[in-house]
Amino acid sequence: MRVNSAFTGFFSNRLVVGCGIAPVMLAIFLIASSFTEHSGLNLRAKQVNLMIRQTGHRLLLLAGDSTSRVLPVTEIKEGTFLLRFENEFVFNHDSLMALSQRLLPKAQFPSGYTVTVHDCIKGGIVYGFQVNNTSPDILACSGRSQPPGCYTIEFTFPDFYEKVKQKKADLGRLTESVEADTQVVHENLEESKTASFASDIDQRTEKSKTTTFDFPLMHVVYGGILMLLSATLVIGRFRKNSTPVPGQNQNSTITNEPITEVAALGSFLFNTKAQHLLFGGEAITLTDKECKVLELLHKNFGELTPRETLMQEVWINEGVFTGRSLDMFVSKLRKKLSLDPELRITNVHGKGYKLEMSMPG
């Protein structure tokens, strides 16, 4: 009887520890998964927001407007972003289409996306197109220019939250599975306590009738083995289900860069903090001076940046510098930007340089 009590007591303690650890581990896992999914979604939304804002900036520059503001881009509902402008403007249909396809490549959006231009006053749709991956694009009214007016532009991405919703569904199924396993452990613990109590009563009764204890002891041993196997299966299932989950939060379509340090530059993403250009999956390293020169040109995109400004800002801490040094670094930048044939650094003789886009003919 002492062997029976010691064995069941030891096993019961292990089950109690397992039952206490399981809910704690589940809570930690749910909090971590929720945080990482929210963080990844927030980054993706900010990056798309940045691309759409850059589209509005380029539209104004093409219209000859370099002073009015692009208002903050807002997400008016799931997967739909609204681009607004401070003043009235005029735009070309083909220009909007070309900018959208360049800055928002459809390969990053499995179900494509839709762009619609709305009249601020009347509220109707004055122009729109749809970019698809599984069917031909719907491109309407090409070759036309929209007259001056107040316009807003909506960008709708049907599958923007699809991956996140799928992850939440998988997480819900995993949670139900872990809760079921925890319930099984609790039930096994109660059964072991009941079996132990009944076994003690039986052994006391048998003690008055016989001096042998081999038969009750065999029952305890067999019961203990079965319960140990059951607990092993439960713990093994818990580990199998929970181990792969932390690796689910991977985003292969959007580059994981700090959004505050990344700017769209033609077909590139310009990371000033890491000092490199991203072109597709390729990272192009910039030297410290190349990065500073490109950053100044980008801040004055489409406008002249004087040579004196560039030299003073970049070589301010050096005792001796020449205009030849500036020309050499600009030449190196041109080679690195040559992957985008429409992005160019134009030399204004004797005055400075201008970073600008040339639209396709």
Q: What is the pLDDT of residue 191?
A: 65
Do 72 and 150 belong together in one domain?
Answer: yes
- Which of residues 189, 218, 248 is at a domain's end? 248
Task: Look at residue 112 and tell me if it is in a domain.
Answer: yes
Task: Look at residue 80 and tell me if it is in a domain.
Answer: yes
CA neighbours closer than 13 Å in the CB half-sphere of residue 99:
25
Do 150 and 178 belong together in one domain?
Answer: no
- Which of residues 206, 224, 248 is at a domain's end? 248
Do 153 and 205 belong together in one domain?
Answer: no
Report whether 130 contacts 138 (CB < 8 A): yes
Do 50 and 7 belong together in one domain?
Answer: no
Do 56 and 149 belong together in one domain?
Answer: yes
Task: Look at residue 167 and tell me if it is in a domain.
Answer: no
| CATH code of the domain containing 286 | 1.10.10.10
Do 83 and 179 belong together in one domain?
Answer: no
CA neighbours closer than 13 Å in the CB half-sphere of residue 154:
22
Do 224 and 288 belong together in one domain?
Answer: no
Report whether 5 contacts 200 (CB < 8 A): yes
User: Kind of pairing, strands 352-357 and 343-348?
Assistant: antiparallel
Q: What is the pLDDT of residue 83?
A: 95
Domain coverage including residue 267: 259-357
Closest by Cα among 274, 257, 265 to 337? 265
Do 59 and 158 belong together in one domain?
Answer: yes
Q: CB under 8 Å to 52, separation ≥6 — which residues?
A: 73, 81, 83, 103, 104, 155
- Which of residues 222, 248, 274 is at a domain's end? 248
Angle, CA 356 vertex, CA 352 and CA 357 arms, to 5° = 155
Report whether 193 contacts 12 (CB < 8 A): yes
Do 243 and 287 belong together in one domain?
Answer: no
- Count structural domains, the chain: 3
Do 46 and 147 belong together in one domain?
Answer: yes
Find the farthest-apart pair of alpha carbons in the chain and give their distance in angstroms, rounded: 117
Task: Look at residue 337 and tell me if it is in a domain.
Answer: yes
Show pLDDT as tens, one digit a residue, over the chain (361 residues). 444 555 455 445 554 445 555 555 555 555 555 545 455 567 888 888 999 999 999 989 988 888 999 999 999 988 899 999 999 988 888 889 888 888 888 778 888 899 999 999 888 899 999 988 888 878 767 778 889 999 999 999 987 777 655 555 555 665 566 566 566 556 666 666 566 555 655 666 555 444 444 445 565 666 777 777 777 776 766 665 555 444 444 443 444 444 447 888 888 999 989 999 999 888 999 999 899 999 999 999 999 999 989 888 887 766 556 668 888 989 999 999 999 888 999 999 889 999 998 765 5
Do 64 and 152 belong together in one domain?
Answer: yes
Task: Look at residue 88 and tell me if it is in a domain.
Answer: yes
User: Kind of pairing, strands 276-279 and 262-265?
Assistant: unpaired
Q: CB under 8 Å to 146, separation ≥6 — which residues?
A: 90, 91, 92, 93, 117, 126, 127
* Cα gap 302→66, rounded to integer Å: 8
Token match 């396709």: residue? 360
Angle, CA 263 vertex, CA 261 and CA 265 arms, to 5° = 150
Task: Look at residue 25 and tell me if it is in a domain.
Answer: no
Task: Look at residue 31 and tell me if it is in a domain.
Answer: no
Task: Look at residue 33 and tell me if it is in a domain.
Answer: no
**What predicted TM-score, i.e. pTM, was given to this entire model?**
0.41
Do 128 and 197 belong together in one domain?
Answer: no
